[in-house]
Amino acid sequence: MSKAYLFPGQGSQFVGMGKDLYESNPEAAKYFDEADEILGFSLKEIMFEGPEEKLKQTEFTQPAIFLHSVALFKTLDTNPDMVAGHSLGEFSALVASKAVSFEDALRIVRRRGELMQQAGEQNPGTMAAVIGMDDEAVENVCAEAAEASGKEVIAANYNCPGQLVISGYKEAVEKAVELAKENGARLAKLLPVSGAFHSSLMQPAYDGLKEQLEQLEISEPICPIYSNYTAEATTDTEEIRSNLLNQLLNPVRWTQTLNNMSENGADSFIEMGPGKVLQGLVKRTLKGVEISGHQ
């Protein structure tokens, strides 16, 4: 059986996340304590106690989900056959595949969260979920809305067949939501996010993270990692580096990633981290595979 480990991204967080793990598993607890030391503030306190408003801020959400996912994975003592992470989850996947150290990845994830939050303030934009339309129909709606508004809106997360997230300037996203409803979407609604992630509005975050990513020490992973940017497997360290950067401005190709993992032999998909979002996406994308998770 070929096992694919999946790591969630932003949106899976909840107050209390990781608390049981911390209290019941000394191995995992070490990572929580080490994270607080590295960051210089108590991330675990925000995770365990909230307030929710604080945990929902991108600069805290991203390291929180990363920490929870990695601490969980480290308790398993297993070598994955392949890994992938949704957006920020790609950093968790890199630690699981031994390409990047926990300490280095945590620092860069913290910086990524700060930069993405700042980019959202610099270039205000938003995102919306569109459900019940195929990929091409959503892409067409985005193209039409962009033309009508003169502003960018793109398909930013290909989550599973019939479930996409679009991203861009507020008026363009609003126009796309309107058009999606007219074109038969089952649901099209704005999401409570702090920026237009995975679009060109994240350019300031790209510029800010570039130098840090160039200096990041990346070793050859012990298994293929599937990149959000290409949806393809790689073990090439320089390709991994450029994919992490390009991911900020480009769509998360999750549907394509899952299909490629399945075609390459994965028949067991295990989600590592808070929530069950990715398990749901696997269920709606692939048939006849084993799906499980650790929280």
Count the neighbouring beta carbons within 10 Å of the beta carbon of residue 235: 14
Where does the pLDDT of residue 1 fall: very low under 50, low under 70, confident under 90, or very high at 90 and above? Answer: confident
Torsion angle defined by CA atoms of residues 17, 101, 205 and 178, in that order, rounded to the nearest 10 degrees: -50
By percentage, how much of the chain surpasses pLDDT 90? Answer: 97
Q: What is the CATH topology of the domain spanning 2-121+200-294? A: Malonyl-Coenzyme A Acyl Carrier Protein; domain 2 (3.40.366)
Q: What is the pLDDT of residue 192?
A: 87
| Residues 104, 111: Cα–Cα separation, whole Å | 11
| Residues 273, 58: Cα–Cα separation, whole Å | 17
Q: Cβ neighbours of residue 77 under 8 Å, at least 6 residues apart?
A: none
Q: What is the pLDDT of residue 295?
A: 83
Count the neighbouring beta carbons within 10 Å of the beta carbon of residue 150: 9
Q: What is the pLDDT of residue 236?
A: 98
What's the CATH number of domain 125-191, 3.40.50.2030, 3.30.70.250, 1.25.10.10, 3.40.50.150? 3.30.70.250
Catalytic positions, please?
87, 198
DSSP the chain: -EEEEEE--TT---TTTTHHHHHH-HHHHHHHHHHHHHHTS-HHHHHHH--HHHHTSHHHHHHHHHHHHHHHHHTT----SEEEESTTHHHHHHHHTTSS-HHHHHHHHHHHHHHHHHHHHHS--EEEEEESS-HHHHHHHHHHHHHHHTS-EEEEEEEETTEEEEEE-HHHHHHHHHHHHHTT-SEEEEE--SS-TTSGGGHHHHHHHHHHHHH---PPPSS-EE-TTT-SEE--HHHHHHHHHHTTTS-B-HHHHHHHHHHTTEEEEEEESSSSHHHHHHHHH-SS-EEEEE-
91-109 residue pLDDT tens: 999 999 999 999 999 999 9
Where, residue-wise, is CATH 3.30.70.250 in the chain? Answer: 125-191
By percentage, how much of the chain surpasses pLDDT 70? Answer: 100
| Residues 79, 39: Cα–Cα separation, whole Å | 28
- The model scores a pTM over 0.75: yes
182-217 residue pLDDT tens: 999 999 999 988 899 999 999 999 999 999 999 999
Tokens at 192, concatenated: 């409570």
Where, residue-wise, is CATH 3.40.366.10 in the chain? Answer: 2-121+200-294
| Residues 223, 227: Cα–Cα separation, whole Å | 13
Q: What is the pLDDT of residue 52?
A: 94
Count the neighbouring beta carbons within 10 Å of the beta carbon of residue 22: 20
213-248 residue pLDDT tens: 999 999 999 999 999 999 999 999 999 999 999 999
